[in-house]
Amino acid sequence: MVPWKAAALLLAGATLIANPAAAQEVGTATAVNPTSESTPPGGSTQTLTLGAHIIHKEHIHTSPSGSVQLLFLDKSSLSIAPNTSIVIDEFIYDPNSGKGHMLTTLTQGALRYVGGELSHQGEATIQTSNATIGIRGGTLTVGQGSGGTKVLNQYGAITISNNGGTVVVTMPGYEVTITGWNIPPGQPTKVTDAEILHYLALLTSKPGQHGGGQFSSFGNLACGGPGQAACPTPPWFSTNAGQDAANQIIVQGTHLGTSQTPPPPSCTGDCPH
Amino acid sequence: MARPADPNNTLQYAAGAAAAGDIESAISAYEQLLFYNPKLSQTRFQLGVLYYELGSYDMARGYFETALQMPDVTPDLQQKIADLLDLVNKKLQVDQFSGYAQTGLRWQSNASQGPGSQTTLASGQPFNSAFAAKSDWNWFGTFGVNYVHDFQSQSGTTFEATVLGYDAQQFTQHQVDIGLMEIRAGPRFALSPGNINGITIKPYVVTTGALLADVAYMGGVGGGLTAHVTVANVSLDPYSEWVQQSFRNSTFYPLASGMTGPLATYGTLASGPIGSGLSWQSRVAYAHANDQFAFDSYNGFIGDLWLPWSFSVPGSGRPWTLTPSGGVTTWNYKAADPAINPLVAANVTEWRVSLGLEIPIWQKFVLASLVQYRDDLSNVAAFAIHDLSVTAGPSIKF
């Protein structure tokens, strides 16, 4: 670890010690579908509610119908699928310097991590029983089940390491499957459309659920309607490049031709029309 | 977002983050809103757009596809999603083709790009009346094709090629009938794979060819190096290019070979969003031509700014695009041309303004029109021209 990182961690740790109640709040539950539970370190398990503060080393568990979105102080977020257990093992973040580190353990289930300041510095890690997943960027989905760990890269550079070796995934739309801590991670392969749709459905509310919030309309922030902004469109590009290039050639040609004697009334060879 | 009881606050935050280029924060906010109401097609559409901007085309496709299944999706939004899905599906191919083609008619007040017929040359030589300012119409056809081969490696390496073609046949001023083609091709390497804001570089070869007055006029071969980087919502494509140009004499251009020589260009393309469907694109470049005839050699500057604005029109599924633009080109010739003005090395400054309008007609076809005015100012009377041009015709972007 480079000295400035060590110093930042020591500083953040000192802050935690000096003001434990405030510093241990690392994020907020911004969407909660029942039943989702949390267990703070040394505390009892309680039902997670919308707006609940998430603290360092908190254990979060969702039932077969439960799902959660957590928003962290560094602006990263975790969407947590049903039947999932995670622990926020470490979250050290200095908002002034933007330095720190996050470590989350996924015991079972699935989550989507959308990156924030820490991951932009390569300081976000997800641990499973099969691999350590280092995130630089980045946005990814991780599934942990009896078949092993599956890592789907959506954006960023993902470094997957275990006793068997290391694989780096840098291209969006690729996944790696890891079946054991001592087994080398597989090579990146293209994600299928079916897998994407599966995780999209898994990592949000199911029909009839509303995550504890109410949201019914975009109002004027919708796009394409009367009085609203145009929807995002494919990038515009000029179709006049040929005409522009032709203009330049003709102008220079005219500069040349201006002083030349006109061609004879009838000619042979390279005569124009 | 930390006040989850207030979804409007979250919505404002999401829109603001997206506008500021903080795509991941915007994704987190819209995914929060998706938890609150998974049936809103607009939320899924916005997420699809954001993942598209991240280069995560699989996720974009997933959100677009599910947006189409939502009960509240409107015909307008369906159309927009279909357009973007088309783009996303293309990006997910190993071999990707995109581009445009257009044909139409063009009227110019000064098609021959020449000075007034009363112009006298300081050299005392006769003025070639074939190049006096005359209005004319032409038929034109043009196309541009971009090809990308994705090697599907974790290095992010691709092979890219662009082909540009243009042909214009005048109704009467055939000395400016022109056809040209440019091909650029080379591999693109990512210096930091996985970082959407990371730098990519592309060495490439370039070949060009042009017919003028319907005979071979110019050919060129060379190479260049370009890079691409995004900084705070601004895309930059600096480039340097060197082309050995060879000109051939013809009946109308008997001294064209004097322009044979290398042309070096150093410049950058830049673009970025402004907001509400408005964006900007620009080009600035310095050019240096070292030709056989010193009076054909020049140093030049090119600058252009386009402001494409896409806006919704009631009853039209796809947006219209209005594009005002302005630009300047300078030619500072190295020596006086003894046949025109033996005492003065010519300086030419061309100012141009234009207004383009693209109106959707059917599927990917648009009616594209362009009105352009160009004014060339020069210390040599023979090089001072102005031209009003109106272009219109059907165009397809694919």
pLDDT digits (tens, 9 = 90+) for B24-52: 999 999 999 999 999 999 999 999 999 99
Write down the pLDDT at residue B4: 64
| Nearest-CA distance B318 → chain A (Å) | 9
CA within 13 Å, CB half, A269: 9
What CA–CA distances, in Å, run from A55 to A19, A37, A133? 13, 13, 22
Write down the pLDDT at residue B275: 76
Per-residue pLDDT at A265 exceeds 80: no
In angstroms, the CA B368 to CA B262 distance is: 35
Q: Pairing state of beta strands B309-311 and B298-306?
A: unpaired
Angle at B35 between CA B31 and CA B39, to 5 degrees: 100
pLDDT in tens, B181-210: 999 999 999 998 877 778 999 999 999 999
Write down the pLDDT at residue A229: 56
Angle at A209 between CA A74 and CA B71, to 5 degrees: 105
Write down the pLDDT at residue A230: 54
| Nearest-CA distance A159 → chain B (Å) | 11
Q: Among partner residues A67, A114, A247, which is closest to B24 by beta-carbon distance?
A: A114
pLDDT in tens, A193-213: 999 999 999 999 998 999 998
Q: Judge: A261–B182 Cβ closer than 8 Å, yes or no.
A: no
Write down the pLDDT at residue B227: 97
Q: Among partner residues A153, A171, A235, which is closest to B156 by beta-carbon distance?
A: A171
Indicate the average pLDDT of chain B.
91
Q: Judge: A245–B166 Cβ closer than 8 Å, yes or no.
A: yes
Per-residue pLDDT at A267 exceeds 50: no
Write down the pLDDT at residue A226: 57
| Nearest-CA distance A217 → chain B (Å) | 8
Q: Pairing state of beta strands A99-114 and A124-127?
A: parallel
Higher pLDDT, B361 or A21: B361
Q: Among partner residues B37, B56, B123, which is closest to A215 by beta-carbon distance?
A: B37
Q: Among partner residues A215, A250, A269, which is closest to B178 by beta-carbon distance?
A: A250
Which chain B positions have a beta carbon within 8 Å of A215's beta carbon?
Answer: 7, 10-11, 33, 36-37, 40
Q: Judge: A258–B131 Cβ closer than 8 Å, yes or no.
A: yes
* Mean pLDDT confidence for A160-166: 97
Higher pLDDT, B180 or B9: B180
Q: Give the confidence band of B6 by pLDDT, cuts at 50, 70, 90.
A: confident
Residue at token pair 């040929």? A242
Burial, A77: exposed, middle or buried (Cβ in 10 Å; 0-12, 13-18, 19+)?
buried
Q: Judge: A170–B175 Cβ closer than 8 Å, yes or no.
A: no
Residue environment code for A62-76, b if the CB has 16+ CB neighbours within 10 A, otherwise e: beeebbbbbbbbbbb
DSSP conformational letter for B110: T
Q: Judge: A242–B376 Cβ closer than 8 Å, yes or no.
A: no
Reading the block at residue B164, the tokens are 């540009």
Which chain B positions have a beta carbon within 8 Å of A174's beta carbon?
Answer: 154
| Nearest-CA distance B267 → chain A (Å) | 16
Which residues have a Cβ under 8 Å from the Cβ of B86 and sit 6 or more positions away?
A: none
Q: Among partner residues B15, B112, B128, which is closest to A221 by beta-carbon distance?
A: B15
* Mean pLDDT confidence for A209-228: 75
Residue at token pair 């522009």? A244
Write down the pLDDT at residue B135: 95
Q: Judge: A256–B106 Cβ closer than 8 Å, yes or no.
A: no
Q: Judge: B252–A257 Cβ closer than 8 Å, yes or no.
A: yes
Which chain A positions have a beta carbon within 8 Å of B196's beta carbon?
Answer: 155
Q: Judge: A204–B31 Cβ closer than 8 Å, yes or no.
A: yes
Per-residue pLDDT at A21 exceeds 50: no
* Mean pLDDT confidence for B153-168: 95
The nearest alpha carbon in chain A to B195 belongs to A156
The helix/strand/coil state of B205 is strand
Write down the pLDDT at residue B5: 64
The helix/strand/coil state of B354 is strand
Are the C-beta atoms of A127 and A103 separated by less than 8 Å?
yes
Interface ipTM: 0.86
Q: Give the confidence band of B21 by pLDDT, cuts at 50, 70, 90.
A: confident
Q: Judge: A171–B121 Cβ closer than 8 Å, yes or no.
A: no
Write down the pLDDT at residue A200: 96
Q: Among partner residues A174, A222, A239, which is closest to B102 by beta-carbon distance?
A: A239
**Closest listed residue to residue B111, CA positions, set B54, B201, B176, B35:** B176
Helix (H) or strand (E) holding B137: strand B136-150
Which chain A positions have a beta carbon within 8 Å of B346's beta carbon?
Answer: 255
Write down the pLDDT at residue A260: 59
The helix/strand/coil state of A132 is strand
Q: Judge: A29–B374 Cβ closer than 8 Å, yes or no.
A: no
pLDDT in tens, B69-91: 999 998 888 888 998 999 999 99
Phi/psi at A257 (5° precision): -75, -20
Higher pLDDT, A159 or A13: A159
Write down the pLDDT at residue A5: 41
Q: Judge: B196–A155 Cβ closer than 8 Å, yes or no.
A: yes
**Closest listed residue to residue B141, CA positions, set B108, B101, B110:** B101
In angstroms, the CA A258 to CA B115 distance is: 9
Q: Pairing state of beta strands B158-170 and B136-150?
A: antiparallel
Q: Mutate which of A28, A30, A261 to test chain B, going by most B C-beta atoms within 10 A?
A: A30
What CA–CA distances, in Å, run from B186 to B189, B263, B283, B332? 10, 20, 21, 32
**Closest listed residue to residue B80, CA positions, set B134, B26, B44:** B44
Q: Judge: A256–B102 Cβ closer than 8 Å, yes or no.
A: no
pLDDT in tens, B325-350: 999 999 999 998 888 888 899 999 99
| β-pair partners for A138 | none
Reading the block at residue B9, the tokens are 């606050």
The nearest alpha carbon in chain B to A156 belongs to B194
The nearest alpha carbon in chain B to A222 belongs to B42
| Nearest-CA distance A18 → chain B (Å) | 24
Q: Judge: A50–B4 Cβ closer than 8 Å, yes or no.
A: yes
The answer to whether residue B31 neighbours chain A at the CB level (below 8 Å) is: yes
Which chain A positions have a beta carbon within 8 Å of B129's beta carbon?
Answer: 262
The answer to whether residue B27 neighbours chain A at the CB level (below 8 Å) is: yes
Write down the pLDDT at residue A223: 67
Q: Among partner residues A112, A237, A259, which is closest to B125 by beta-carbon distance?
A: A259
Write down the pLDDT at residue B362: 87
Measured from the Cβ of residue B155, the count of other Cβ atoms closer than 10 Å reads: 11
Q: How many CB pairs under 8 A join A and B?
A: 361
Q: Judge: B76–A212 Cβ closer than 8 Å, yes or no.
A: no
Write down the pLDDT at residue B105: 98
Write down the pLDDT at residue B2: 53
In angstroms, the CA A241 to CA A237 distance is: 9
Which chain A positions have a beta carbon within 8 Å of B38's beta carbon?
Answer: 204-207, 209
With a pLDDT cut of 90, the percent of chain B lying above it is 69
Write down the pLDDT at residue A198: 96
In angstroms, the CA B165 to CA B145 distance is: 9
Between helices B57-68 and B75-91, what is the axis angle to 10°?
Answer: 150
Per-residue pLDDT at B178 exceeds 60: yes
**Closest listed residue to residue A89, CA positions, set A126, A64, A133:** A126
The nearest alpha carbon in chain A to B367 belongs to A239
Higher pLDDT, B120 or B102: B102
Residue at token pair 């293209």? A190
Which chain A positions have a beta carbon within 8 Å of B182's beta carbon?
Answer: 245
pLDDT in tens, A57-112: 999 999 999 999 999 999 999 999 999 999 999 999 998 988 999 999 999 999 99
